[in-house]
Amino acid sequence: MKKGTLCLALLLSIFIVSGCWSKFELTERAFVMGVALDQGENGEIELLTQIYRPTSTQTLSSVSSSASSINIKTKDDSVMEAIRDIPIHLGRKAQWSHLRVIIVGEKLARSSNIGHLLDLFYRAHEPRGSVTIMISKGTAGKLFEKKPLIEQTTAQQFLRAKESSYITSAKTVDYNLLDLMLQLRSANGDAIVPFVYEDKKSKDIFSAAGLALLKDGKMKAVLPSSEVEGLLMLRNSYQSGVIEIKCPGKNGDYETAEVLSLNAKTKPQIKGDQISVNSTIVSDIAIGELKCSNIKSTEDEEEFIKKIEVKLSEQIKSTFQFLQSNKLDVIGIADTIYRSDPRKWERLKENWDTQFSELPFTIQIKLRLITTGTISGKPAG
């Protein structure tokens, strides 16, 4: 009886669960990997679409000299119309379900509301909310003309560079279209977007480091990569990174500590009409490099930890001051106030930019040294 019921259920599932809802063949579609949006002449939008070029089975056993992708350039008054012009050049309709990254050029990001600009990618059913969004220094289209270092396509290289920069170096954030939408619809609407630029030392490569800061949907400033670590700590989204401290009296010598784990609580303190911000940070660290410290006792360990705590405090305060000077609350203070007291936020939101720029800020840091590595707590030399 049970076997009969199971067989009947499996038979019925054939009619319910379909393999592919679209009637189009793979050879009729062009799979989009990346998109660049730039400001064109006369207000037009310049669209560069990177299309994956599949390798035929006949060339799998031999080395192919052809590129794994091609770039198609179109332009029009709207993003949708520019997309509709892709088949004119390619002969295939664009398929957006495999889209990896969208990069907006700096000029366009500063002049246009990025939420409005990307409306089509939110509204259409093919692009996913997990698509990476970035803003480039200069023209976004030029970055897609560079060859990938190790990935198959430049779009995939952008994606991996951003992910690694966030996880291992804390130089950017791992944000996507959904994250951007949530920020733009937050209490104050300020947002952060990963920043990408052409490497100064080698124009053949690019760097995913730093953050573009948005106000009212438009790019207002760039947070340098050196300040991103402080912001990630304030937002409690710090994964891993390195803290440097300079050796006293020695030019060019630095000691380093690796952050193994970090937990931060950054909250507004409200007393009547007075608002301040306090951040409490607890972290485990490991010694990365020793050049001028010699850790032989508990006192030596405490002294080393104190130097790291001072450096960390200075770094976080510097980031907070940078955000205050630009009147950009991307830490989430406004959201915290809104969630705890919506009525109070209604009274504050009109002048929040000015009030945020004047908020007193205090910080408490507690570090714990976990390990000195595979050797003792003194320089190797």
CATH number at residue 277: 3.30.300.210
Average pLDDT taken over every residue of the chain: 90
Range 41-47 average pLDDT: 92
User: At which of 223, 239, 264 does a domain end?
Assistant: 223
Residues 6+ apart with CB under 8 A from 209: 165, 169, 171, 172, 195, 197, 225, 228
Both 37 and 158 in one domain: the answer is: yes
**Domain region containing 270:** 224-381
Task: Answer yes or no: is 8 within a domain.
Answer: no
Both 232 and 345 in one domain: the answer is: yes
Both 198 and 77 in one domain: the answer is: yes
Task: Answer yes or no: is 161 within a domain.
Answer: yes
Question: Among candidates 169, 192, 229, which has minimal Cα distance to 329?
Answer: 192
Both 289 and 236 in one domain: the answer is: yes
Please give the structure tokens belonging to residue 326.
């630009």
Flag whether pLDDT at 133 surpasses 80. yes
Task: Answer yes or no: is 15 within a domain.
Answer: no
Per-residue pLDDT of 70-108, as tens digits, reads 999 999 999 999 999 999 888 888 889 999 999 999 999
**The pLDDT value given to residue 17:** 57
Running DSSP on this structure, what letter comes out for residue 169? I
Flag whether pLDDT at 307 surpasses 50. yes
Task: Answer yes or no: is 79 within a domain.
Answer: yes
Task: Answer yes or no: is 7 within a domain.
Answer: no
**The pLDDT value given to residue 63:** 45
Both 246 and 339 in one domain: the answer is: yes
**The pLDDT value given to residue 127:** 92
What domain count does the chain have? 2
Q: What are the distances in angstroms from CA 253 to CA 97, 116, 266?
A: 49, 49, 33
Range 123-133 average pLDDT: 94
Residue 208 and residue 162 in contact, taking contact as beta carbons nearer than 8 Å: yes
Both 158 and 295 in one domain: the answer is: no
Q: What angle do CA 187, 189, 190 make, to 5 degrees?
A: 120
Range 278-304 average pLDDT: 93
Q: At what angle do helices 298-325 and 225-234 cross, to 10 degrees?
A: 100
Task: Answer yes or no: is 81 within a domain.
Answer: yes
Residue 34 and residue 52 in contact, taking contact as beta carbons nearer than 8 Å: no
User: At which of 157, 192, 223 does a domain end?
Assistant: 223
Instruction: Report the distance separating Cα 30 and Cα 27, nearest Å.
Output: 8
